[in-house]
Amino acid sequence: MDIVTQGLFGAVVAQASVRARLGRRALIVGAAGGLAPDLDSLATLVDPFLEWSFHRGPTHSLLVGLIAGPVLALLLVAALRLGARLGRRPPPPLSDRRAIVIGFSLAFITHPLLDLFTSYGTRLLYPLSTTRFTIDAFPAVDLLFSATLVALLVADGFTKLPAPRIERRARWALTALALYAGFATGAGVLHTRAARAALEEKGVELRQLHAYPVLLQPWTRRVVALDEEGNAYIGYAGILPRAPRHYERLESASGPVLDAALDTDTARLLTEFSRGATLWTLTERSDGWLLRGEDLRYGVPGLARSLWGYEQALGAEGHPVGAPRHVREHIDPREVKWQDILKEGRGNED
């Protein structure tokens, strides 16, 4: 999920667990724990390709989090004790220090669990496995999910309820969000089944098919299918679990030049990162070829068929020439025609 939602979610997790001990300080502790795993995003400032290989890696592992969460929480406690000593104030009591460790650690470890429900992919079992686990339930930004967290925190800020009641209300909110996640997961499964059955009925031999949630809500789905030749079919499905009526067919390159071009670390990285939802195209040039790989999981109709990928200059036989270039489409939200996306999704419900 987006970084703002992760901070809000961490605050609510701490609210549900240690509000009675820490009071409103629980919000700060939880938000810090919820944001901490995404510090790995800073690596992209050094190399944009690290977004594919490093982000949602070690810091998002449940195995690493069970150690890193408490360790970082203890460092936070040590910093608070040092600050109190320098300011000649009494240090936090032992009960508060324990609550800080609990609240921070719970927020830290639930961060990757929340990310699991997006299509991006999270290495939950690193270092035992580098597999990116994912459930296509939520988009990176889900308005209803985030609004629920904001509403709860704002309501608690303007009420004078006892801390135990605030904790219970936070737990009920987390339970409601868990049910919402279950609903969104089920919607994705039904959309996937409907789209797969419809394409197979048309004789398309599928290599893979996924129904990815469209930005801001989980109901409208971007269906991306790849056939055995690597050609892509992209369509949109609405609230009802039916197959898209219209597909955009994108033809993939093929042949020995592509085979040689894909035998590189960058090509393998993009394929693994996109979970195979990759379109490969070749453009012939005077000095060879230009390879373009695109992650089809994310796109905006009429503006970009994909949001990121890379380009690589190739020699005549398909061997890389020079370094690959990371490509990222920057979409102005004001240019997104949401009515067209929703219209595409409703097209299969007429």
Would you kindly state where each structural domain of the chain is located, as residue ranges?
Answer: 3-134
User: How much is the pLDDT for 302?
Assistant: 73
Q: Which residue has the higher pLDDT, 328 or 242?
A: 328
Mean pLDDT over residues 16-28, rounded?
Answer: 95
Residue 15 banded pLDDT, cuts 50, 70, 90: very high
What are the pLDDT digits (tens) for 160-215?
Answer: 889 999 999 999 999 999 999 999 999 999 999 999 999 999 999 999 999 999 88
User: Would you place residue 339 in the very low, low, confident or very high pLDDT band (cuts 50, 70, 90)?
Assistant: low
Residue 140: alpha-carbon gap to chain centroid = 5
| Contact partners, residue 52, CB within 8 Å, separation at least 6 | 269, 270, 273
Whole-angstrom distance, CA of residue 191 vs CA of residue 235: 11
Higher per-residue confidence, 63 vs 339? 63
pLDDT at 350: 46
Determine the pLDDT at residue 300: 83
Contact yes or no for 236/341 (Cβ under 8 A): yes
- What is the predicted pLDDT for the residue at 88? 85
Query: Quick one: pLDDT band at residue 79, thresholds 50, 70, 90?
Result: very high
Three state DSSP letters for 174-218 = HHHHHHHHHHHHHHHHHHHHHHHHHHHHCCCCEEEEEEEECCECC
What integer is the mean pLDDT of 276-290?
Answer: 96
Q: Indicate whether 348 pLDDT > 70.
A: no
Of 342 and 185, which is predicted with more confidence? 185
Q: Is the pLDDT of residue 51 over 80?
A: yes
pLDDT-derived band at 240 (thresholds 50, 70, 90) equals confident
Over residues 88-105, mean pLDDT: 94
pLDDT tier at 308 (50, 70, 90 boundaries)? Answer: very high
Q: Residue 346: what pLDDT?
A: 56
pLDDT of 29 > 50? The answer is yes
Angle among Cα 54, 59, 62 to the nearest 5 degrees reads 120
Q: Is the pLDDT of residue 320 over 50?
A: yes
Measured from the Cβ of residue 187, the count of other Cβ atoms closer than 10 Å reads 22
Average pLDDT for the chain: 92
- What is the average pLDDT across 107-128? 97
Q: What is the pTM of this model?
A: 0.92
251-270 pLDDT, tens digit each: 999 999 999 999 999 999 99
CA–CA separation, 20 and 140 (whole Å): 32
Place of tokens 């390709």: 49
Residue 180: the pLDDT is 97
* Confidence check: pLDDT of 342 > 70: no
- Evaluate whether 266 touches 310 at the Cβ level (below 8 Å): yes
